[in-house]
């Protein structure tokens, strides 16, 4: 490992932004801005400097701006306020000072000078992106289309800054600070305002590809993948889908053809992206589009369309040039990306190696990538990859079949928990039938609060924390933070499937909190979902018709080497 050019803890990102005249206020610039500045410094004079860029303009509102708004607006009591609705009302009703409005106007002028691109407005708190805790996704990131009249654009920018400010007090952030022993009043927040990376495609703006890179692979599909190999999680369009619990493609950088969800057409289809996010500049909105509605447009706009998309039908995958007799639906499965865009993968590997060697710690990088008119790789964020203690594999005990409640055989990590007293289960049929996703999530949260201090098992259909409630219960961090084991169960007939979205904010939380994870793919292969036991065993209701709470003595054993894990009755 080479000597770092400056110790990360001692690195003053404020100096970097002051040199460029892009720091507003005399305060700190926070962890996210620090990571970006550090990455830029680390590339100066390096072989990769010409191959890797950054957003065209980044301006930081320092923590002094936030602190002044809180103090001058009489809002300091919000640090101790647990009522999120009250917090939102107070923050939304407190006007910005005239000096702050003038600063935001001057910032708009600076972006106007480079063509008035859409804007990303991101949090950068004091505690965020530290060497020990990521606070990934706990604070707000939002977008401004930055179009319309000057007054409309100023309103959009002010609204985005306000949303980032108030996110410091949201329930998930509060729960995360409390769980990790961080006093609420030790936190403050800076705001990064960036030109959004991407291109105009007609009235639509988006990057062709966006993703996250991790220099270490803590959840490996098989022993061929080494911890040091690096992994990429990638999507088409804005990168929101790589950090949220949405479908995206995972590439192991030393084995890019390997798919963690499996190589069968059905498995590829279950894990593939079918929607993408973009900015509609004509209507001034952040929107989500269905690939099926955009095929002719995207085929015209992107020469690599065939390397991104396949058609799926009747349990077969077809090239976009094929004309199958069966009805099909298009998927962003990226079948040939690692062949057509070798430079993306070689740059990613070199960048991760350089950043880890320079800084002395594993890193997590968000990026955007364009294939035309010229290759363009841009770093949007870099942070230390939050510490993760890899657990020893647990030998699975030989128990009677009827004592196994759940069993999985794909993407299982290591670990074990014994003598667990509670299992909380969400029934997929009743979740769909008694449709109230927010109510189900809040009810899980109430159980989570009651079980504080106990490491319970939480099992349910599809993707916990999904942005789309039709794919899983849309819980927040504060509603599951006390669980010890998270089980995701496939129910294909109801369109529920686990999403092995390692690298998302959701899984970074699980890793830093030591929460074990077990995906269960129905009752096929080496998987088991013991619906007979769940139906026959007494339980109490959990605040929503779909939620059951079982009490007993349960144990969990996960063997990542053998890719097998199970939840049993002890």
What is the structure's pLDDT at 3?
Answer: 40
The larger pLDDT score, comparing residue 3 to residue 399, is at 399
In a domain? residue 130: yes
Residue that finishes a domain, picked among 196, 214, 241: 196
What is the structure's pLDDT at 9?
Answer: 81
What is the structure's pLDDT at 135?
Answer: 79
Average pLDDT for the chain = 91
pLDDT tens string 232-241? 999 999 998 8
What is the structure's pLDDT at 498?
Answer: 84
pLDDT tens string 476-529? 889 999 999 999 999 989 988 887 666 676 777 777 778 888 999 887 788 999
Q: Which domain holds residue 301?
A: 204-340
> Do 424 and 288 fall into the same domain?
no
> Do 208 and 280 fall into the same domain?
yes
> Do 155 and 287 fall into the same domain?
no
Q: Say how far apart CA 394 and CA 307 lie, in whole Å.
A: 40
Q: How many domains does the chain have?
A: 3
> Do 45 and 131 fall into the same domain?
yes
CATH of the domain at 249: 3.30.470
> Do 508 and 561 fall into the same domain?
yes
Question: Is the model's pLDDT at 132 over the cut of 80?
Answer: no
> Do 328 and 405 fall into the same domain?
no
What is the structure's pLDDT at 4?
Answer: 43
Q: 255 near 224, Cβ under 8 Å?
A: yes
In a domain? residue 234: yes
> Do 182 and 237 fall into the same domain?
no
Determine the average pLDDT of the residues in 217-234.
Answer: 79
Q: How many residues does the chain have?
A: 570
What is the structure's pLDDT at 297?
Answer: 97
In a domain? residue 157: yes
Q: Say how far apart CA 425 and CA 380 lie, in whole Å.
A: 38
In a domain? residue 357: no
What is the structure's pLDDT at 5?
Answer: 54
Q: Say how far apart CA 58 and CA 274 lie, in whole Å.
A: 31
Instruction: Tokens 């609705």: give the residue.
Output: 85
What is the structure's pLDDT at 223?
Answer: 65
pLDDT tens string 9-49? 889 999 999 999 999 999 999 999 999 999 999 999 999 99
In degrees, rounded to 5, the angle at the alpha carbon of residue 339 between the alpha carbons of residues 335 and 342 is: 130
> Do 91 and 109 fall into the same domain?
yes
In a domain? residue 369: no
> Do 316 and 412 fall into the same domain?
no
Instruction: Please state which of the ranges 105-114, 238-247, 358-367, 554-563 shows the lowest mean pLDDT.
Output: 238-247
The larger pLDDT score, comparing residue 510 to residue 470, is at 470
pLDDT tens string 286-341? 999 999 999 999 999 999 999 999 999 999 999 998 888 889 999 999 999 999 99
CATH of the domain at 151: 3.30.1490.20
Cβ neighbours of residue 504 closer than 8 Å, sequence gap 6 or more: 233, 242, 243, 244, 245
> Do 112 and 261 fall into the same domain?
no
In a domain? residue 267: yes
In a domain? residue 58: yes
Q: 118 near 143, Cβ under 8 Å?
A: yes
Cis? peptide before 509, omega within 30° of 0: no
Residue that finishes a domain, picked among 175, 196, 217: 196
What is the structure's pLDDT at 546?
Answer: 97
Burial track 65-85 (b if 16+ CB lie within 10 A, e otherwise):
bbbebbeebebeebbeeeeee
> Do 264 and 410 fall into the same domain?
no
What is the structure's pLDDT at 239?
Answer: 93
> Do 178 and 221 fall into the same domain?
no
In a domain? residue 3: no
Residue that finishes a domain, picked among 141, 161, 196: 196
Cβ neighbours of residue 303 closer than 8 Å, sequence gap 6 or more: 371, 372
Determine the average pLDDT of the residues in 167-178.
Answer: 93
């Amino acid at each position: 490992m080479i000597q770092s050019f400056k110790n990360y803890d001692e690195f003053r990102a404020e100096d970097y932004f002051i040199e460029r005249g892009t720091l507003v206020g005399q305060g700190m610039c926070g962890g996210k801005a620090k990571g970006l500045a550090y990455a830029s410094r680390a590339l100066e004079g390096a072989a990769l400097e010409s191959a890797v860029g950054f957003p065209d303009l980044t301006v930081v509102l320092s923590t002094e701006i936030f602190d002044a708004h809180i103090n001058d607006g009489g809002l300091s009591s919000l640090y101790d306020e647990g009522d999120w609705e009250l917090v939102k009302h107070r923050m939304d009703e407190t006007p910005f000072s005239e000096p702050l409005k003038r600063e935001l106007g001057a910032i708009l002028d600076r972006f106007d000078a480079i063509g008035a691109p859409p804007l990303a407005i991101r949090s950068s708190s004091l505690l965020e992106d530290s060497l020990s805790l990521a606070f990934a996704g706990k604070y707000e990131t939002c977008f401004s289309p930055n179009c319309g009249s000057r007054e409309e654009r100023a309103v959009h920018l002010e609204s985005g800054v306000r949303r980032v400010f108030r996110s410091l007090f949201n329930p998930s952030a509060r729960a995360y600070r409390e769980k990790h022993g961080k006093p609420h009043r030790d936190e403050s927040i800076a705001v990064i305002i960036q030109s959004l990376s991407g291109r105009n495609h007609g009235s639509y703006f988006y990057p062709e590809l966006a993703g996250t890179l991790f220099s270490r692979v803590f959840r490996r599909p098989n022993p061929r993948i080494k911890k040091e190999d690096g992994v990429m999680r990638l999507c088409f369009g804005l990168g929101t889908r790589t950090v949220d619990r949405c479908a995206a493609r995972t590439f192991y950088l030393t084995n890019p053809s390997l798919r963690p969800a499996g190589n069968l057409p059905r498995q590829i289809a279950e894990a593939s992206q079918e929607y993408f996010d973009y900015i509609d500049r004509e209507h001034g909105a952040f929107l989500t589009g269905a690939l099926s509605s955009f095929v002719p447009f995207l085929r015209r706009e992107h020469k690599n369309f065939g390397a991104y998309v396949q058609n799926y039908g009747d349990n077969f995958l077809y090239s976009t040039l094929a004309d199958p007799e069966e009805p099909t639906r298009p998927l962003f499965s990226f079948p040939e990306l690692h062949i057509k865009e070798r430079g993306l993968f070689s740059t990613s590997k070199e960048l991760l190696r350089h950043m880890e060697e320079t800084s002395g710690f594993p890193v997590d990088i968000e990026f955007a990538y364009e294939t035309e008119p010229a290759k363009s790789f841009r770093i949007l964020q870099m942070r230390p990859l939050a510490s993760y203690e890899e657990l020893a594999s647990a030998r699975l005990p030989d128990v009677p079949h009827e004592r196994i409640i759940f069993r999985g055989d794909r993407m299982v990590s290591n670990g074990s928990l014994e003598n667990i007293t509670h299992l909380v289960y969400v029934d997929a049929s009743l979740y769909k039938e008694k449709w109230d996703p927010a109510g189900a999530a809040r009810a899980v949260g109430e159980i989570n609060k009651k079980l504080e201090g106990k490491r319970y098992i939480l099992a349910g259909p599809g993707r916990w924390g999904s942005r789309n409630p039709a794919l899983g219960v849309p819980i927040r961090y504060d509603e599951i933070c006390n669980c010890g084991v998270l089980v995701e169960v496939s129910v294909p007939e109801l369109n529920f499937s686990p999403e092995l979205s390692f690298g998302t904010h959701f899984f970074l939380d699980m890793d830093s909190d030591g929460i074990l994870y077990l995906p269960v793919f129905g009752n096929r292969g080496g998987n088991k979902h013991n619906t007979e036991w769940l139906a026959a065993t007494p339980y109490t209701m959990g605040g929503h018709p779909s939620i059951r709470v079982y009490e007993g003595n349960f144990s969990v054993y996960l063997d990542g080497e053998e890719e097998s894990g199970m939840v049993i009755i002890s």
